[in-house]
């Protein structure tokens, strides 16, 4: 598994729902946690490693007990507003302020195929929103404050050029 960088097209379109949760999904999830920890990330969506599947892994607390796996997640309620710095494994060396809901409620399937609900606030809520955006093909720079986008514009251009060169 390799992390795709912006502007890879898989990062920019909605992923397909997972319709069967079996051993293959468990294998994928294990691999994704491995890649995420190795890259020192706190969340990773399947399309970031080239898989067109609506699932992500996360661990905002960096505690082995705090691992989150969400399959076919949807935000069903949100509340409040928080502004904070974000980065993304698909955007190396790019950081900026993003406004998010301060709390969310998410419905999703777990690895046993059971429909679950999770409420989160603050950083965990930010991570869930960032990852679910990925699954919708929405990347965090589209929600970044205009000032921070300008600060990062040269680096973004570099990523775009690098991707174009890799296509040749």
Of residues 88 and 128, the one with the C-beta less far from Zn ion = 88
Chain position carrying tokens 């705090």: 66
Residue of 93, 107, 119, 131 marked catalytic = 131
DSSP alpha helices (H): ranges in 23-138?
A: 23-38, 122-135
Smaller CB distance to Zn ion: residue 40 or 112?
40
What is the 8-class DSSP label of residue 42?
Answer: S
Cis status, amide bond into 7, omega within 30 of 0: yes
Q: How far is the CB of 44 from Zn ion (least distance, A)?
A: 8
Please choose, out of 6-14, 66-74, 80-88, 105-113, the segment that lies near Zn ion by the rule CB under 5 A: 80-88
Contact string (CB under 5 A) for Zn ion, positions 81-120, x = contact: -------x--------------------------------
Please list the alpha-helical segments (H only) found in 23-152: 23-38, 122-135, 146-151
Active site residue 131: yes
Residue number, 71 or 134, with CB nearest to Zn ion: 134
114 phi/psi in degrees, rounded to 5? -95, 135
Asked if 48 contacts 89 with a C-beta cutoff of 8 angstroms, the reply is yes
Residues 29-58 that bind Zn ion (CB under 5 A): none
Please give the DSSP secondary-structure letter assigned to residue 9: G
Point out the residues that are catalytic. 131
Binding site for Zn ion (CB under 5 A): 88
């Amino acid at each position: 598994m390799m992390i795709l960088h912006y502007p890879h097209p898989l990062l920019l379109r909605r992923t397909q729902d997972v319709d069967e949760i079996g051993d293959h999904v468990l294998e994928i999830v294990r691999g994704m946690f491995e890649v995420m920890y190795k890259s020192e990330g706190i969340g990773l969506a399947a399309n970031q490693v080239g898989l067109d599947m609506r699932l992500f892994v996360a661990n905002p607390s960096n505690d082995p007990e705090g691992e989150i796996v969400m399959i076919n997640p949807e935000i069903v309620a949100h509340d409040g507003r928080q502004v904070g710095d974000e980065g993304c494994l698909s955007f190396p060396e790019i950081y900026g302020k993003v406004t998010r809901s301060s709390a969310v409620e998410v419905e999703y399937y777990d690895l046993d195929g059971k429909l679950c609900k999770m409420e989160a606030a603050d950083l965990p809520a930010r991570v869930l929103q960032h990852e679910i955006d990925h699954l919708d093909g929405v990347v965090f720079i589209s929600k970044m404050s205009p000032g921070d986008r300008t600060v990062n514009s040269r680096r973004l251009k570099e990523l775009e050029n690098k991707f174009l060169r890799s296509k040749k």
